Structure 1
Amino acid sequence: MRLFIPFSTTKKPTTNRFFGCLLKLASFSGTAIYFALSAPLMAAETPRDELTLTQTVELSLQSHPTLASYQYRVKSANAQAQQAAIGEKPEINLTLEDALGTGEHTGLDNAQSTLSISWVLQGGLLDQRVKSAQSKANVLEIERDIQRYDVAAQTAHAFLTVLAYQERLVVAKNTQQHAVQILREIQKRVDAGRSPSADKFQAEVNLERRELEVEDIQHELKSAKKVLASQWGNSSVDFVGVNGALTLKEQVISYDALENGISKNPQVQYFLTQQRVVETEITLAREEVKNRWRFNTGVRRYEATEDYGLTFGVSLPLGKSTRNKHQISALSAEQARYVADARAKEIQLSTQLYVLYEELQHSYHLNYALTHKILPRLERALVETQKAYSLGKYSYREWYALQNEVFDTKMELIDVRLKAHNNLTEIERLTGLNLMGTSSVKEFENNGDIQ
């Protein structure tokens, strides 16, 4: 299974940039989950009897409960950015002087009335307010994209779990059928007096245990399917199974190449984007403290002479441009904090990557040893032991012990491959690298199946 995530850095992290090739699965019948993560979301296919990883991720991104509110949050942030572009409204003033007094100013005969309009020059301030609001909207989009990627990764883990239980069930059923055949052979030997009745009883116990193992795996598989279906908000399982086969290819990626991708991790980019948000707030605080010219103009009427005159005025607030220095100082400290948080997050992710990489290396080593060395020899030994039992050279207990060891080794191999794929998923989530050729969960093929 491969997850591929090119993360944006300085540009606005839109979905298309941020998730342009997320979960590109080259071995998945040519269908990339790029379409699942592009905005707007494409309609997912109607669930089939067997779902592919691409389909499960598409369904999750469309209907996962935690993603439902983000469209409204983004819409709200964009509306606030548009609102920030609206400045102060011009003011209309009506002033009446020298009226309703005493003497010559009784009534309105000698009154002076002025109708004027005033406004403030705030072009630069509005630009900075828009930039500040838009930068906050950018942070929200990164949060949404991180959440969408988390949902995709969680779905991949759930898909792999179902796939692993399906492969375990195949192994268990094959072992169960083998136990049935063994019991029939032993029954014939007991009836012919060539084997003791104790062998028959042990073979019956062995068959009963295999049946219980099949039943246990079937219950686990049902639960795993339920968890997978919950990724797209379903309360019931609407699919029969998943399509794929756990396989591992030769590993070619180096740790250095992986580590270089840490700086592009969206969690690191989140803090760096927050740092840029604070930078716009600092610029806005400096812009707000500037003294801004206010102009007013109007028309004045003189009632005594029935004449008109134009009025014009300008005002400039007094005060120093350092009034916001404490706010700017606080914002500067917050900006430095985000830079430090980004560095701390990078170190944390780098350590996590190292641990995952070492576990992955070990899984590849185990996979090779089990596939090419241990399991083939055990299977050959099982055939020889069965022949020796037929000749009376081995006891059934020795044959039974080797049967169990072969079964346990096949189950161990599935666990090793599942762990490797889960580690690959997390490594790709951390680095954004597409580990082409490192592993594959193949659809429509069964190469590497464990029978």
Structure 2
Amino acid sequence: MHSNFPVLTGRYALSYHTFYVLFWVIFACSLNATAVQAAESPLTLSDAMSRAMAQNPRLQVFGLRLDGLQGRRITADLNPALEAGAEVENFLGTGDVRGLVGAELTLTLSSTIELGGQRQARVSAIDSRLGLVEAERRAETLDLLGQVTQRFVATLALQEKLQLAADAVSLAQSTLDIVTRRAEQGATPQAEVLRARAALTQSQIEQSRLQSELVSRKMALALLWGDTSVEFTQLQGDLFQFGASDSFESLYQRVSDSPAIQVYASEQRVREAEIQLARSQSESDINWQVGVRRMEEIDDIAFTAGFSVPLFPAQRNRGEVRAALAARDEIRFQREATLLNLHSRLFDAYQQRQQSIAAVEQIRSQMLPNLSEALTQTREAYESGRYSYVEWMAAQRELLAAQRALVDAATTALLNQALIEQLTAQPLAGR
């Protein structure tokens, strides 16, 4: 019910309705300010990893798989079911067995006695699959974190390149101003002004292209935790922080204990459990039955009992045992093949990381200082009329190319570092 009673007294009294509207306006504005502040806060690698682990659908399915296996374990742990039956003989015939005169009604209760530890073998097989799913979840988590790191590094590198593009635009604008001033003084032809304007336009186009690519990279990163919109404006990280590294032999030793290899160990246990289950099914089960029989003709009741045993079950089950043994042995060779593949990938990543870090140091300590000084001297020489516009532009391009090469080398080092950490399931020293 609408009320017109004021909530404030005096000159600026407000009705309940007006106060209610203002309250929600203020509340919505505060929420919007909080959202803007959250969106403006930079995204760190640890934040991206936390979001991906909490929200990525690829990891959520493992909980459902475990729930399903727990349900199958409950079923596997059950004893054979009891079966009740009824049988009527010698009824609705002719002569002495017409109607129910000679009928015999038998009520039975039957079941199976499992031998060879079949129930325990079934439970063990499910338990081993539970362990396999856990190992697969660890491997999938590691793979996901590797993807997050790689996309984060690639996006961070593009963010750095966008800053270089902004510097290139500023440099092109400064160049245009200098060339225009010299042209007005009659010290350089007007054609150089036109070329400087074209260079500025080209720099702006490249900046726009990088901005568009950065938006796509951010979206690709956000998709790893299930977001279809980007809620962060920039990434926070050091593209040139590499840390120390152990020897290749030490890193490869860790690979044998990584989740990628532990999956094979868990699968090996699954195959062993399947072998045990197949062997347990080679034992003969005893089917038993007891009952009560009612004979209408003589008006008497008698008990019945019986059992049955399958013949030659071991021979009939040899194929299953053989197939289970072959599946187990196959896992060993798959593990060895995977280790060889991981050795190759780790070696390549290790070598590329080492080479890229060395390249970063050389570019930083030698190329950039030399090219920066060369650009300064070339600009001064151009302004004094001793160097041409072409020579000045060549010095600019060389410096910009060296800066981009520095970012590319650092990116390559970090991407290979992320791969090494993914393969070994451990961060490198000093991270």
What TM-score do you get using the length of structure 1 for normalisation?
0.75
Say whether the 8 Å CA contact 1:292–1:316 is kept in structure 2.
yes
Say whether the 8 Å CA contact 1:96–1:112 is kept in structure 2.
yes
**Which amino acid letter does the alignment assign opposite residue 148 of structure 1?**
T
**Which amino acid letter does the alignment assign opposite residue 75 of structure 1?**
D
Give CA deviations for 1:332-379 in whole Å, capped at 9, x if unaligned.
112111111111111111111111211112111111111111112211
**Which amino acid letter does the alignment assign opposite residue 120 of structure 1?**
T
**Which amino acid letter does the alignment assign opposite residue 426 of structure 2?**
L
Deviation of 1:99 after TM superposition, in Å, equals 8.6
SS at match of 1:117: strand
1:214 corresponds to 2:207:
yes
In structure 2, which of residues 51, 56, 66 is the aligned counterpart of residue 59 of structure 1? 51
Match of 2:79 in 1: 87
SS at match of 1:252: coil
Give CA deviations for 1:244-277 in whole Å, capped at 9, x if unaligned.
2311345432101111122234333333332321
**Which amino acid letter does the alignment assign opposite residue 210 of structure 1?**
S
What TM-score do you get using the length of structure 2 for normalisation?
0.79
1:389 corresponds to 2:382:
yes
Q: How does 1:387-426 map to 2 (within 5 A)?
A: 387-426=380-419
Match of 2:113 in 1: 121
Deviation of 1:211 after TM superposition, in Å, equals 1.8
Deviation of 1:166 after TM superposition, in Å, equals 0.9
Where structure 1 has 5 or more consecutive residues not aligned to the other structure, the ranges are: 1-44, 439-451
Distance, in Å, in 2 between the alignment partners of 1:140 and 1:48 is 39
Deviation of 1:63 after TM superposition, in Å, equals 4.1
1:284 corresponds to 2:277:
yes
1:239 corresponds to 2:232:
yes
- CA distance change for structure 1 residues 103 and 221 in 2, over 3 Å: closer, same or farther? closer
Match of 1:427 in 2: 420
Deviation of 1:116 after TM superposition, in Å, equals 4.9
Distance, in Å, in 2 between the alignment partners of 1:250 and 1:308 is 89
Deviation of 1:298 after TM superposition, in Å, equals 5.5
- CA distance change for structure 1 residues 97 and 398 in 2, over 3 Å: closer, same or farther? closer
Deviation of 1:69 after TM superposition, in Å, equals 4.5
SS at match of 1:92: strand
Distance, in Å, in 1 between the alignment partners of 2:155 and 2:72 is 44
Distance, in Å, in 2 between the alignment partners of 1:192 and 1:104 is 137
- CA distance change for structure 1 residues 48 and 58 in 2, over 3 Å: closer, same or farther? farther
Deviation of 1:102 after TM superposition, in Å, equals 10
1:151 corresponds to 2:138:
no
- CA distance change for structure 1 residues 47 and 265 in 2, over 3 Å: closer, same or farther? farther
SS at match of 2:225: coil
Q: How does 1:109-258 map to 2 (within 5 A)?
A: 115-122=107-114, 124-249=117-242, 251-258=244-251
Say whether the 8 Å CA contact 2:83–2:111 is kept in structure 1.
yes
Say whether the 8 Å CA contact 2:139–2:263 is kept in structure 1.
no
- CA distance change for structure 1 residues 97 and 196 in 2, over 3 Å: closer, same or farther? closer
State how many pairs are aligned. 394
Task: Report the identity percentage.
Answer: 30
CA RMSD after TM alignment: 3.3
**Which amino acid letter does the alignment assign opposite residue 204 of structure 2?**
E
Match of 2:15 in 1: none
Greater relative contact order (Cα < 8 A, sep 6+): 1
Say whether the 8 Å CA contact 1:278–1:335 is kept in structure 2.
yes
Deviates more, 1:181-190 or 1:426-435: 181-190
- Structure with a larger share of its residues in helix: 2
SS at match of 2:109: strand
Say whether the 8 Å CA contact 2:80–2:113 is kept in structure 1.
no
Distance, in Å, in 2 between the alignment partners of 1:202 and 1:96 is 107
